[in-house]
Chain A
Amino acid sequence: MELTAFIIKAIVILVIFGLTLLIAMYSTYGERKVAGFIQDRLGPDRAGPWGLLQPLADAGKMFFKEDFIPAQANKWLFIAGPCLAMLTALMASAVIPFGSTLRYDGVEVAVQAVEANIGILYIFGVVSLGVYGLMIGGWASNNKFSLLGAIRAASQNISYEVAMGLSIVAILMISSSLSIGDIVAQQHGGNWNIWYQPLGFIIFLTCAFAECNRTPFDLPECETELVGGYHTEYSSMKLGFYLFAEYINMFVSSAVISALYFGGYNYPGMDWVYNQLTGAFGNVAGHNVATLLGTGVFFAKSLFGVFFYMWVRWTLPRFRYDQLMNLGWKGLIPLAILNIVITGLAVMFLQPALTAMLK
């Protein structure tokens, strides 16, 4: 019994991490393709059918480039920087509920690497560690431009984390749980948080963009005022790790957005589909098929989020740094606090009144 649960869990974890890596890998291809389509060109189409082998070609190129460590750099920290960025990006995906539960032999296992009941806190903790990746990378390069870039990146990430944390508080007030699994389960039946938290969603989305260092907030890297940003001195696969971490972050943050605001693995007509499937395949198999279907829906939502990131990148121009800080501190944080107050009042007065009325 224990062993079955363990094996299923191990498979689930492997599949989740494998898929996360695969999606991050192919979002580099997706980015180029989307960029091409939006700019009325074709994008990569040489390597393999429709250019599908392009990520492998890119990886091959990254591996064969000269792996360079500056003489004056702090060698170990220089290596640790990209690893840390990659690690924190991957760790965040551990608590995301990709589906409800799988049943086998009387065991029920959630499609989630870790069923932590402090999921959101964990994600925020891990994501905030990502700053160290950038900061250490910039500092260890022993290059003042890199250091300036790293400081910029760090201050940007920290500022937007505040607004992000505040925007999430309203959701926690509604759901009164810190577990992402619970929050997703509560959104069952079209009860998505986006309907209750449109302002919170916009704030969260904006902060997620800033956290992933994506356009219009891609100020950590810039050729105009700094030479290249915190990764000026990085080459070959170490630079690849930094870029890869960005794509993992993109996927993970859109997964978090779809879990928190778009009902995760819930989709309209879910109960009806569930009944049909259990009717057709029997209780256990039908349940598993329904779960996998939900997981597919979750991935579809998350991948649309990734596409949205790219769509925005080829639409909006970059912010200036002071504009970025103004938006973060003078725009988003007050708005997030306002959102908390409104949600608080609604939870305090409106919800009991509504429940009383519906009774």
Chain B
Amino acid sequence: MQLTNRSKQVSNKQMTLAERIYLPAIATGMAITIKHFFQKKVTIRYPEVKRYLGPVFRGRHVLKRDAEGRERCTACGLCAVACPAEAIQIVAEERKKGEEHLYREEKYAAIYEVNMLRCIFCGLCEEACPKQAVYLRHDEFVPVFTERDQVIWGKDLLVENMNNRYLRKAWTKEEAQAQDDAKVRGEIKEVEPRAIP
């Protein structure tokens, strides 16, 4: 019975003279390596040139605002429940009078913290959120941090900046391809990761 068509008949044939003196084989190998010498290099100069990571890359978190700049999060806690690493901490608060321009609904997250050392960037918070408030950006990494007090990210770092709104430009493979092309043409600029204050 044949399970795959990859099986190969093993032979025990004697090597020919050309094979036994090895020099032709060495010449072939040399030809292959010298061909690589002139091929296009696959590496890029990383910090200056960055590759597009794809539409489904899960980078740093963002707490979305709506079009009027109000926070969408209602502190329901589903993201924290969904989080397998238990990286999310939420403290809910009631919206006061006069804060309608800040928060979309009556309840909001007074404290929303993500522990960046615990987070595994699985994206389950994103899927759990009923209000489409939390996203993992596809275009930004979490910047490198060196201090322990930079591990826990509060709302100051998470909530969306209205001047640098996060929009997913590509959701399908074709859109991602178009985005890659736009990137090559220089129409899409790199979004610099925000520095930690």
Which residues on A are within 8 Å of B, measured CB to CB?
Answer: 34, 36-42, 45, 202, 311-312, 314-316
Asked if A37 and B43 make an inter-chain contact with CB atoms under 8 angstroms apart, the answer reads no
Asked if B33 and A38 make an inter-chain contact with CB atoms under 8 angstroms apart, the answer reads yes
Min C-beta distance of A332 to chain B, whole Å: 13
Chain B residues in 8 Å Cβ range of A316: 26, 29
Asked if A40 and B33 make an inter-chain contact with CB atoms under 8 angstroms apart, the answer reads no
Report the Cα distance A309→B20, complex, angstroms: 23
Task: Kindly report which residue of chain A lies nearest to residue B34, judged by CB atoms.
Answer: A311
Min C-beta distance of A320 to chain B, whole Å: 15
Asked if B37 and A38 make an inter-chain contact with CB atoms under 8 angstroms apart, the answer reads yes
- B191 at interface (Cβ–Cβ under 8 A)? no
Chain B contact residues, majority secondary structure: helix
The contact of B33 among A41, A45, A314, by CB within 8 Å, is A314
- B3 at interface (Cβ–Cβ under 8 A)? no
Asked if A34 and B37 make an inter-chain contact with CB atoms under 8 angstroms apart, the answer reads yes
The contact of A40 among B23, B29, B30, B36, by CB within 8 Å, is B36
Task: Kindly report which residue of chain A lies nearest to residue B27, judged by CB atoms.
Answer: A315
The contact of B29 among A36, A37, A315, by CB within 8 Å, is A315
Chain B residues in 8 Å Cβ range of A36: 41
- Residues of B30-54 whose CB lies within 8 A of A: 30, 32-34, 36-43, 45
Chain A residues in 8 Å Cβ range of B23: 202
A38 and B36 in contact, given A312-B30, A315-B30 (Cβ under 8 angstroms): yes
Min C-beta distance of A206 to chain B, whole Å: 10
A42 and B41 in contact, given A37-B36, A311-B34 (Cβ under 8 angstroms): yes
16 more A-B residue pairs beyond the given contacts A40-B36, A315-B33, with a C-beta to C-beta distance below 8 A = A37-B38, A37-B41, A38-B34, A38-B36, A40-B39, A40-B40, A40-B41, A40-B43, A41-B42, A41-B43, A45-B45, A311-B30, A311-B33, A311-B34, A311-B37, A316-B26
Task: Kindly report which residue of chain B lies nearest to residue A216, judged by CB atoms.
Answer: B26
Chain A residues in 8 Å Cβ range of B45: 42, 45
Min C-beta distance of A198 to chain B, whole Å: 11
A-B contact list, 24 entries, CB within 8 Å: A34-B37, A37-B36, A37-B37, A37-B38, A37-B41, A38-B33, A38-B34, A38-B36, A38-B37, A39-B36, A40-B39, A40-B42, A40-B43, A41-B41, A41-B42, A41-B43, A42-B41, A42-B43, A202-B23, A311-B30, A311-B33, A311-B34, A315-B26, A315-B30
* Total A-B Cβ pairs within 8 A: 38
Min C-beta distance of A215 to chain B, whole Å: 12
Report the Cα distance A312→B33, complex, angstroms: 9
Name which of A34, A36, A45, A314 has the most chain B CB atoms within 10 A of its CB: A314
- Residues of B1-39 whose CB lies within 8 A of A: 23, 26, 29-30, 32-34, 36-39
Chain B residues in 8 Å Cβ range of A38: 33-34, 36-37
Chain A residues in 8 Å Cβ range of B42: 40-41
Name which of A34, A37, A40, A315 has the most chain B CB atoms within 10 A of its CB: A315
Task: Kindly report which residue of chain A lies nearest to residue B37, judged by CB atoms.
Answer: A37
Report the Cα distance A311→B36, complex, angstroms: 11
Chain A residues in 8 Å Cβ range of B30: 311-312, 315
Report the Cα distance A276→B33, complex, angstroms: 40
Min C-beta distance of B80 to chain A, whole Å: 43
Chain A residues in 8 Å Cβ range of B26: 315-316
Report the Cα distance A202→B23, complex, angstroms: 10
Report the Cα distance A284→B30, complex, angstroms: 44
Report the Cα distance A312→B26, complex, angstroms: 9
Min C-beta distance of A303 to chain B, whole Å: 15
Task: Kindly report which residue of chain B lies nearest to residue A39, judged by CB atoms.
Answer: B36
Q: What 6 pairs across the A-B complex have the smallest Cβ distances?
A: A41-B43, A315-B33, A37-B37, A315-B29, A40-B42, A38-B33
Chain B residues in 8 Å Cβ range of A312: 30
Min C-beta distance of B35 to chain A, whole Å: 9
Chain B residues in 8 Å Cβ range of A311: 30, 33-34, 37
Report the Cα distance A42→B33, complex, angstroms: 15
Report the Cα distance A315→B42, complex, angstroms: 19
Task: Kindly report which residue of chain A lies nearest to residue B31, judged by CB atoms.
Answer: A315
Min C-beta distance of A42 to chain B, whole Å: 5
Min C-beta distance of A107 to chain B, whole Å: 45
Report the Cα distance A316→B45, complex, angstroms: 28
Report the Cα distance A270→B37, complex, angstroms: 31
Chain A residues in 8 Å Cβ range of B41: 36-37, 40-42
Chain A residues in 8 Å Cβ range of B43: 40-42
Report the Cα distance A40→B37, complex, angstroms: 7
Chain A residues in 8 Å Cβ range of B34: 38, 311
Report the Cα distance A108→B37, complex, angstroms: 43
